[in-house]
Structure formats: C-alpha cells, structure tokens
Amino acid sequence: MPRPQSRYVCQSCGAVYPRWQGHCEACDAWNSISEEATESAPPIGGKAKGGGANRRGKAVEFVALDGADERRPRLSAGVAEFDRVLGGGLVEGSATLIGGDPGIGKSTLLLQIMAALSKQARVAYVSGEEAIDQVRMRAERLGVKDAAVDLAAATSVTDILAAVDRTDGPQVVVIDSIQTMYVDLLDSAPGTVGQVRASAQELIRVAKRRGAALLLVGHVTKEGAIAGPRVLEHMVDTVLYFEGERGHPFRILRGVKNRFGPTDEIGVFDMTERGLMEVKNPSALFLADHREGVAGAAVFAGIEGSRPMLVEIQALVAPSAYGTPRRAVVGWDSNRLAMLLAVLEARAGLDLAGRDVYLNVAGGLRISEPAADLAVAAAIASSLTGEAMPGETVVFGEIGLSGEVRTVGRSDARLKEAAKLGFKRAIVPRRPGKEGGDAKAGRKEPSGLAATEVSDVGGLAALLAGEGPIRAAGA
C-alpha cells in the first residue's frame, strides 16, 4: 500500500510547494498555503496498475476538420435575459459556472430557471448548503413549488454521479455549490483546491459524456473573483457573474467567458418579493429617477455586450477640508478617474487640484468601457461650474491624455437607443476626417437626434459654459 504523503497547495491559485511557506510566489497571496494529503506515485520501474511503464496507450483517432456534425438545438430556459447571456440557451454537454456575492440571488435565479426548464426537460437541483425543506420554502415563496424539479441535498460527488449517470438521468443538473462537494479518494476538506478541482472534473466528465447541461454555483472571494483555483474557470465552457448592490433591487448577470456565444453580454433582473423579474428595457429602468436641470448629472449612452444602455452618471465636486483631496468612485474605475481629472485640469483649465471629487453610476451598474470618459467629464465640469447639462442630452466618447476626444464603436446603436427614450440632443466625438466639428452642430442624425461633435475637452468645457450652440438649443 503506498505511503501517504503531504504536499502544500495554495488555496488561491493551486500552486504546489514541497514545504510550507507564508507567501505564494505564483499569485502573490499571503497565508494561503495549506497542507493536503495525497497518495504517493509508484516507484520508477515498479509495476503500476495496468502495466506501469510497459503499458502502451490506445492510439487516438484523428478526424478531418470539415467533418459533418449533428447540431442539436439549444435548450431554451424560458428566461429571455438568461438565454441572452448564454447566446440563445443551454448547450447539451456544456458546463456553466455562476459566481456572485453571498445573498445576491444565485440560488433564487437557478431555482426559477430550473422550474422553467422542467416544462420541457428533466432537471435536477442538488443543494450542498441548504436542507431540502429550505429549498422547498424558497420554491413556495417564488411560486414554483409545483414545478417538476428533482431535488436532493448531498455533497458526495460519488453519490451524486450514481444518481444522475443513468440512461433516464436528468438533462440539466445544478450543483449548489461546487465548494461544498468532495471526492472520497482525497483526504482534504471540501472547498480546498484539490477537492474543488477534482469534484468539478468528475462532474464535467460525466455531463459531457451523457450530453447533460451542468450548472455550477461558485463562491466568490472578497476581491470579487470566484473562490478556488483559477483552473476551475478554464475547465468550464461558460463563466457568468451575478452582480448587484445590496441597496439596489437591480441584478446584472454578466458573461465573462462563453465558448458557445458572445462574451461581455449582460442580462438585467429586478429583485422583488416574488423573485427575480426580467427587465425588458434596462435603460428606462436606470433612468426612472433621472431629473433634468440638476448640476453634476450626465446621461451616458453605453454598450453592454450587444445591448445599448443608457445610464445616469453623477458627480459632486466640493472644496476639500484636508490637505489631500478625496476621490471616491462607485461603479467606475478609480484609476481612470484620476487620469481624467489630470487631463481636465491640464487641457481644459478646470481647477480640481484642491477639491474632493465623488463619482457614482446610478442604479448599481458598473461601467468598464472607455466611452464613458466624455460623460464623466461632462458631469464633473457641470458640478464644478454649477451649470446643469442641457435637457434631453446624452454624451459618449473616449478621452486621450492629450485631451482629444476619440471615436467609439457602435455610435448609431447608442443614438437610436437615446432617440427611443425621447432624447433630442447628443454630444459625440468628431468623426475622423471631419474638420470644424462645432460647425456640424444641429445636424439631424438618422436616429432623429441633433448631434454636436467635439474634438477635445476644451470644446466640451466651452459647450457647457454656454459658448456653443447646444446650450442655445437646450434653452
């Protein structure tokens, strides 16, 4: 019988060390290395199972790249926002990892999806954190207690596979969560790198062999990343993050990896007493409380995945009571705000060095695209001068370090979304090859908006100061 050995594994990245040390050199984490027991390999020259070194493997059969493949239709969940993020529905034999903060609504979302899928397929929900009665209470609250969902409370991967790896097994399986699962052959505790990796590997292997869709729930760390080894995200086909602020009812399902569809697609949900409700028009929802004539607010026309979306950006510039001004950001990159403030001060002459700057994206949405630069600059300049943005105006554009305003992609889709919601004006970057951008002010775009082009942040400051035609048009 092989002698048990120990190895030391980083619980953040999965790096293996021969002895314990306080610092992981692979991911730069501290106090993340713990001891795990493992089975020693057979000695060199010894006889291992199946013939050892003398055993020859079965040759792999290669096929042509252009061979015929029977494409099966996707399994639509019946929840349009969820299907949108996946690219049209679940693919047979796929593995999807869903991560999110505790209490954000992952289990609620998956239970609703399983209830919808149960009308057309056999589905199973395996809970490793809650008892069966707790899941039934949630189903009753959501109004789906009569759905044909096979429910189980288990944490042993061996027992779960024995129940689902059958000819009449379920077509969709939910594991909530992967950090609670364990494989009997490993001595380490559930949630460790070895257990998470081995459990996911066994579940994915059976799901792909049977053609069942597998949905794994993953915990997240305090930094917002899915807990466990990074290799877990490489093992699955799709990685989704369920985001949202606890003070807001809105929830965002964001795709960050998808082998069968687009990435960076989002689905928007509204958390209610009856569960998560789909939001058909997110722009109208995020702008529901938007008020015209308020200094420090600008409406940004952005793109999330394939969907244009309008959101309000709020800024507050106030005198600093301390030697070092504060820079507080919610929903945007703080480093990009620091860069933008330096550009506005150096290129547009705005006095921001001794003032506190607070920036917020209303509604709990997080924006990452550079096209929000011009809207953020407009909100900051509006708050600094006390002059409100012209009514019914949207803004978008990227700002460079020299103060120039750069063009962004899918401008037509942004303007069409703004026109659909009743906006009449837009401040946009100057198109390449066009000179005298301000002379183009007031022209009619195909969407029906009057677009004013700006080429640099100085031109934006002049417009907000009332020196441009958009101010007269908005009066």
Q: What percent of the chain has pLDDT over 90?
A: 54
Q: Do 310 and 265 share a domain, yes or no?
A: no
Q: Where among 226, 256, 280 does a domain terminate?
A: 280
Last residue of a domain, which of 256, 280, 304? Answer: 280
What CATH number is associated with residue 267? 3.40.50.300
In a domain, 68, yes or no: no
pLDDT at 245 over 80: no
Annotate 338-375 with DSSP letters as a single string.
HHHHHHHHHHS----TTEEEEEEEGGG-----GGGHHH
In a domain, residue 458? The reply is: yes
In a domain, residue 20? The reply is yes
416 & 352 share domain: yes
Strand-pair category, 443-444 with 450-454: antiparallel
Same domain? 384 vs 328: yes
Burial of 71 (0-12, 13-18, 19+ CB in 10 A): exposed
Predicted pLDDT of residue 437: 44
* Inter-residue contact 348 to 381 (CB < 8 Å): yes
Domain residues for 10?
Answer: 4-41
- State the chain's mean pLDDT as an integer: 85
Domain match, 244 and 350 both: no
**Amino acid at site 251:** R
Asked if the structure places residue 63 within a domain, the reply is: no
Tell me whether residue 66 is in a domain: no
Work out the pLDDT band at 189, boundaries 50, 70, 90: confident
Q: How confident is the model at residue 441 (pLDDT cuts 50, 70, 90)?
A: very low
Are 312 and 426 within one domain? yes
- 302 and 181 both lie in a single domain: no
Tokens of 155: 């944490």
Rounded-to-integer distance, Cα 48 and Cα 45, Å? 9
Q: What is the CATH number of the domain that holds 336?
A: 3.30.230.10
Structure tokens at 319: 């005198």
Q: Global pTM?
A: 0.78
- Looking at the fold, whether 364 and 352 belong to one and the same domain comes out as yes
Quick check: is 129 in a domain? yes
Assess whether 139 and 30 both reside in one domain: no
Q: Is residue 272 part of a domain?
A: yes
pLDDT (average), residues 35-40: 63
- Inter-CA distances, 425 with 243, 290, 397, 470, Å: 32, 16, 15, 8
Q: What is the pLDDT of residues 71-86, one digit of tens each?
A: 678 899 889 999 999 9
> Does 429 lie in the same domain as 303?
yes
The pLDDT score that the predictor gives to residue 227 is: 55
Same domain for 304 and 321? yes
166 in a structural domain: yes
Q: Of 238, 259, 280, which marks where a domain is finished?
A: 280
Whether 304 and 253 map to the same domain: the answer is no
**Exposure letters 316-331 (e unless 16+ CB within 10 A, then b):** bbeeeeeeebeeebeb
Neighbours of 18 (CB within 10 A): 8
- pLDDT higher for 437 or 22? 22
Q: How far is residue 188 CA from its own chain's centroid?
A: 31
Same domain, 196 and 290: no
> What is the number of structural domains in the chain?
3
**pLDDT given for residue 438 in this prediction:** 44
